[in-house]
Structure formats: structure tokens, C-alpha cells
Amino acid sequence: MPRQPLPIGTHGKVKVNPKASGGFVAKAKYRDYDGVTRIVERSGRTETAATNNLLEALRDRAGASHAGPVTPDTKFSAVADLWLAEVQDAVDSGDMAPNSLDLYERQLRNYVRPALGELRVREVNTPRVDALLRAVRKRRGASTTKTVRSVVSGIMGVAARHGAATVNPTRETKRISAGAKRTARALTPQERTQWLAQLEADETALRKDLPDLTRFMLATGVRIGEALAVSWDDVDLDARTVDVEWTIVRVRGQGLRRMPPKTESGERTLPLPGFAVEMLRRRKAAAELDREITVGSAVPVFPDSIGGWRDPSNTRRDLRTARGTEGFAWVTSHVFRKTCATILDEARFTPRQIADQLGHARPSLTQDVYVGRKVANPAAAEALDKGLGT
């Protein structure tokens, strides 16, 4: 049976012999990363010196054999910088949302670098990563822990692609459980009436344009960023449809940006219920009169106080203020989305049809989270008009 070759990047037995000219020479077989086994030798005045010189040369050879700047002795923090550069490239190319980069940078800064940053790649193993995740889970909960795990996994993935790690240590860490899932809660018919009446009676809510924004979100099931990104050229009142092709996000250092949704399923055309069409007709007429212009391209349907794009975070804060501390304290902008989904579910729409309305790629997500393809089913408008219209 033929002798098995040395593993890649390892050496065989070191042999030391005296030199005729004096001193010693140490030799060993080393299998390079191209698969070829070569003899490496170094000299020294003594046997120990020759051996140490050879071992140092073999160590350097192993590091130099890696493709790229990452080796097992590279600091984890240095690999993290390479990973962040890849994430930035994904954001610049439109493959990732800017908010994701901000989230990853924050969790890397707050949790990952303090725990692992000074370790070498070869020292980042499953027990150390698992200990980090347990500590974060105890302090911050499941959502933050999952993000931290994704960050570590991405960084070690870079190390693995450079040949500096043979396995990604996050794979064997303990599964992160979010605990019992909360049942999706939607506004009942009575609560919908009470909520809108509360907003209409609140001067601040009226000034913040919350009643009509609520009606639009209930009528369509769109996310708050999508609602605030709708411009008048996206609305076809004759066809009674709205194109959902954008979302508003705040990008650090750049301010508010109107961007396409994260996934292709997020781009969709939705039919509008009659009550929403009437509300939009009224708003369009008022917008044309107030601005003395013909409302057209990229003019927001729900603008801020100076007519520009509105900040989703500030709008969420306005909704929190308007809901009060009792009765509707549980209401968020996502509740309007769940209410839309629940009305369609009660009207016996299929999970696929409801997912198309909400812009979900997977109906399972719609069923699991929201129920308590491009152009959606036109009957959705009739069902929503019946459930919400007055």
C-alpha cells in the first residue's frame, strides 16, 4: 500500500546532520499548497540553531502560501475590516440595504470586536463564539444575538475563502431560540373606527397627517417606508392602482434616500379600494391647489412639512405619541399591515394572494407573522373597501 502524502501545509520529520565546512544543516519535507512535496533546509552553528531556523522557515512558508492577505495568524479584527468592505460593496451595488450595513457595523463595534477582535483567526473556535452568543443573548435578546452570529459567520467566511480557516465555527454553535411567537394582532372593526376617530380629534395628529396615512396603509398593507415613498406619478386614480416600487430609508452620512425594495417581490402594483381612491383624489386636488403646480413626478403623496420626503423613524414616533398610553398602546405602523392581511384572510384569499399584496416572497412568512406577484388580485380592493370603507 503506497505511503499517504503529507497533509497540505505540513512538514515531515526534521533531520539534522553536520556540515563538512562546520555547523549543521536541518532538513524536512514540506508539502506546499500546490500539492508538491519539497525539501526545505536551513543551516546553523549548532543543531538547535539549525532546527530553529528550519522551523521558522517552515512557518513563514505556510503563511506565504495562503492566497491573499489572510493567514491563520491574522487578527480577527483585520479580517472584520475586509468583510465590512465586502458589505459596503454590496450596498453600493444595490444588493444590500444601507440600514443592514449600519446594523452590522453597530453590532461589530459593540459586541464582536470587544470579544474576538484581538484573537488570531486560528484562535476563533466554536466554544469562544458560543460563549459570545450566550453573553449577548442574556443581555440583549434573540434578535441582536442572531445579528451578532451573522457578523461572526460572515467574517469567518472571509477567512475560510482565503484558506486561513478550514471550518466556520458559527455552524456548530447552539441554536438561537426567540421563545414563544407572539400571535399577530390586528385592529378589529370597532378598533379601526375608534383609532381613526382618535386621530381625527387630535390636532397634532392632523397636523402630522396621520389619519390619511393610516387609511392608505390599511388600504394597501404597505410598509411605512413604502407608504412614505409613494409619489403622485405612482398613483393611477383612473385605473385605481398604486405602484409600490420604492421605500424611504435614512442612510448614515447621506440623509433620507428613496430606494428600491430589498427584494423583487417587494415591487408590485396594488389595486386601491374605493375609500382610498376618494381620499387620494381629495389630497391630489389640495396638493395641486396649495402648490399651484401640476402634481407629477417624484412629488410625495405624504410629504413632510416642507413638501419633501418624510422620515419613517419620525413618523413612527408621531404614531407612538398619537396612540397614547392606554387602549392603543400596542398599536404600531406594522399593525396596519397585519390588519390588511387579516381582512384578506377573513375574505378567504389564499396565502399566495395575501403575500403578493404585502410584497412577501414566501407565503409561509405571511401566514406565520401577518395573519392573526406583481399585480395583486383585483378583488382585494373590494374586500378592503367592504372592511374599511365608510
Cell of 213: 396615512
Q: What is the pLDDT of residues 101-140, one digit of tens each?
A: 888 999 999 999 999 999 999 999 999 999 999 999 989 8
Amino acid identity at 59: R
| Cβ-count burial 259-291 (b if 16+ within 10 Å, e if not) | bebbeebbebbbbbbbbbbebbeebbeebeeee
User: Could you give the angle at the alpha carbon of 206 between the alpha carbons of 200 and 208, nearest 5°?
Assistant: 140
Kindly state the DSSP code that residue 45 receives in the 8-state scheme. Answer: S
Taking the C-alpha atoms of residue 255 and residue 84, their distance in angstroms, rounded to an integer, is 21
Taking the C-alpha atoms of residue 345 and residue 384, their distance in angstroms, rounded to an integer, is 11
Q: CB under 8 Å, gap of 24 or more: what pairs does 153-158 form?
A: 154/83, 154/86, 154/87, 154/104, 155/76, 155/79, 155/80, 155/83, 155/112, 156/79, 156/121, 156/124, 157/83, 158/70, 158/79, 158/82, 158/83, 158/86
Average of per-residue pLDDT across 253-274: 84
Q: What is the pLDDT of residues 2-30, one digit of tens each?
A: 678 888 778 889 999 999 888 999 999 98
Full set of structural domains in the chain with CATH = 15-64 (3.30.160), 76-172 (1.10.150.130), 189-388 (1.10.443.10)
Q: What is the pLDDT of residues 302-325, one digit of tens each?
A: 999 888 899 999 999 999 999 887
Q: Is 167 helix (H, G, I), strand (E, B) or coil?
A: coil
- The torsion region of residue 99 among left (phi > 0), alpha (psi -120 to 50) and beta comes to alpha
Distance of CA 153 to the CA centre of its chain: 14
Q: What is the pLDDT of residues 30-48, one digit of tens each?
A: 887 767 888 999 999 999 9
Residue 374: pLDDT over 50: no
Mean per-residue pLDDT of the chain: 85
Percent of the chain with pLDDT over 70: 89
- Start-to-end C-alpha separation, the chain: 87
Residue 291: pLDDT over 80: no
